[in-house]
Chains A and B, each alone.
Chain A
Amino acid sequence: MDLFAQLLANGLGNGAHYALLGLGFGLIFTTTRIVHFAYGPVFAVSAFAVWLAVAVGGLPLAAGVVLAPLTAAAAGALVYWLAYRPFERRGMSSHSVLILSLGLSIVLESLLTLIFGPNIHTVPGFAPPIFILGPVFLTGLQIGEVIAVLGVAGALLLFLRQTRYGHAILALSDDRDMARIVGIDTDRISLIVFALGSAIAAVAAVFTLLNEGATPSMGFNPVFVAFVVAVVGGLGSIPGSILGGFLVGLVESLGLWKIPTEWQNSIAFVLLFVVLLARPQGLFAGARR
């Protein structure tokens, strides 16, 4: 039972991480219909920005952390404007954009390796506080990430429902042509969505940096997790991304109870297949924004 409680706690911590990843990826996909594989390197770039500021620049951690969403927003917006948008303008098929996105992801990752080398870069002198609740060990990072995902999701919902730009994003994800017809500048909204989605990923990237350190390939797994979470939860649904993230986290963690560790990464994909077979629109697709 003690093991179960610990696995449950780990699952919730990982779930929060996955939910953040799915939230940003899902927002970008539903609004722009672009499968943004370069989400991975953007995620890595934001972690390296924090590492540079803190480990090299000597900034306090709290100040460095603020850089993550800002860097990611800028990097995500640049990727959209310089890479995806010219393709869209020429009326390229979504398949071409998908291949472009994959290629771009590889190029950006190689670039990071050229600059930083393949080694792990950790933030010196950081150790998260540990909490012991009965039989369960929790790190401050696990608790922090659960709080972070709830805060980010709440803020995103408010933004989408209450602001002019939020309404434009909802309009664009519903029908791009109609959005143009009512006078929405779809290029500008796509740019904002790329910045916003990337900034959300950066929140997760900070936790990865503090937990494990940064490597150029650190974004590789998160893209796939983000994809699985967004699809399992139901594309376009914010509650879906949150619940999908926690579901993947919990299934993965609790699976360890009975399944050997080396299968952990496969569990998410097995879950994806099962969900796609049973409910192709995603588990919580009905729960629209």
Chain B
Amino acid sequence: MTALLDIAGLTAGYGKKTVVRDVALTLRTGEIVVVLGHNGAGKTTLVRAIFGLIRASSGRVSFDGRDITGRGPSANIADGLALVPQGHGIFRTLNVRRNLELGGFSVTSRDVIAERMERVFALFPVLRERQAQIGGTLSGGQQQMLAIGMALMPAPRLLILDEPSIGLAPLLVERVMESIREINENYGTTILLVEQNPRLALKIAARAVVMNRGAKIYDGAPEVLADERKLLELF
């Protein structure tokens, strides 16, 4: 097991406001790591800085042994990162098929696009039925499946998901977590999962990280956090 993602001393924020302070984090290939924390703990800022949507003010991010600090999303996607952002990670005025094609924007071969789309349809059969439907008219759960499907189109080695369970009914949350586990098992995709609600996330994660006020305050076995009292202590 080698380190796929290695972050050291990462500090990032918006304008003069620092949101994430001096965070270190290592993900091994094939691992599922969950990042927990309150609203405003800096989880979203952390993943946006890793993915290159915002510039880190200091620190270093390396992926597969290469320094990727300060690079933009398109270069990162080409290297094997993908992000499912918080909220609706889809194009709401475009249909399901076009959304998936755009998810694979970095892929130039039409054959590869078609093949990857088949993979997504195998994972989420409902998307195949809804190919021609406009994204914004799908149900919340279907939109989240589409968002995950889009992120899978470039066949990432590291899939980052920012609160994919937000706003979903409990049954759907379970379904989404199940598909994340499937992606990890079937394709060996390393997963960095940001969650606010720890219960289900802890079931699929090999390791848990807890953030508070922009800093990492726990990094270790999820079982420890499954203990109610320990969890309360940290939150």
Contact = CB atoms under 8 A, between A and B. Distances in A.
Query: What are the nearest 3 A-B pairs in CB distance?
Result: A183-B74, A183-B77, A174-B91
A170 interface: yes
B74 to A, nearest CB: 4
A167 B98 contact: yes
A180 interface: yes
5 contacts: A167-B105, A171-B94, A171-B105, A178-B85, A183-B73
Which of B105, B108, B154 has its CB near the most chain A CB atoms (within 10 A)?
B105
A182 B135 CA distance: 16
Contact of A181 (B53, B98, B108): B53
Contacts of B85: 177-178, 181
Nearest to B93: A174
A58 interface: no
A212 interface: no
Interface of B: 15, 51, 53, 72-74, 77-78, 83, 85, 89-94, 98, 101-103, 105-106, 108, 150, 154
Contacts of B15: 91
A88 interface: no
B103 A288 contact: no
A2 interface: no
Given A181-B51, A182-B106, A185-B72, 10 more contacts: A168-B102, A168-B105, A170-B94, A171-B105, A177-B53, A177-B85, A180-B53, A181-B89, A182-B102, A183-B154
A167 to B, nearest CB: 6
A175 B91 CA distance: 6
Nearest to A175: B91
A178 B74 contact: no
A226 B137 CA distance: 31
Nearest to A172: B91
Q: Is the interface of A mostly helix, strand, loop or mixed?
A: helix
Interface of A: 91, 164, 167-168, 170-171, 174-175, 177-178, 180-185, 288
Contacts of A181: 51, 53, 73, 83, 85, 89
A275 to B, nearest CB: 22
Given A91-B15, A184-B105, A178 B89 contact: yes
A183 B91 contact: no
A185 B74 CA distance: 7
A214 B192 CA distance: 60
Contacts of B92: 174-175
Contacts of A164: 105, 108
Contacts of A167: 98, 101-102, 105
A171 B53 contact: no
A53 B219 CA distance: 70
Nearest to B108: A164
Which of A171, A175, A181 has its CB near the most chain B CB atoms (within 10 A)?
A181
Contacts of B91: 170-171, 174-175, 178
Given A91-B15, A167-B98, A183 B105 contact: yes
B90 A183 contact: no
A180 B101 CA distance: 15
B150 A182 contact: yes
Which of A91, A168, A174 has its CB near the most chain B CB atoms (within 10 A)?
A174
Contact of B74 (A91, A175, A184, A288): A184
B90 A182 contact: no
Contacts of A168: 102, 105
Contacts of A91: 15
B83 to A, nearest CB: 6
Given A167-B98, A177-B85, A182 B93 contact: no
A22 B108 CA distance: 33
Contacts of A174: 91-94
A170 B15 CA distance: 29
Contacts of A182: 77, 102-103, 105-106, 150
Nearest to A167: B102
A96 to B, nearest CB: 15
Contacts of B51: 181
Which of B77, B102, B103, B154 has its CB near the most chain A CB atoms (within 10 A)?
B102
Contact of A180 (B73, B78, B103, B108): B73
Which of B51, B73, B78, B90 has its CB near the most chain A CB atoms (within 10 A)?
B73
B88 to A, nearest CB: 8
A171 B90 CA distance: 10
A26 to B, nearest CB: 15
A144 B14 CA distance: 52
Contacts of B73: 180-181, 183
A178 B92 CA distance: 10
Nearest to A188: B74
Contacts of B53: 177, 180-181
Contacts of A175: 91-92
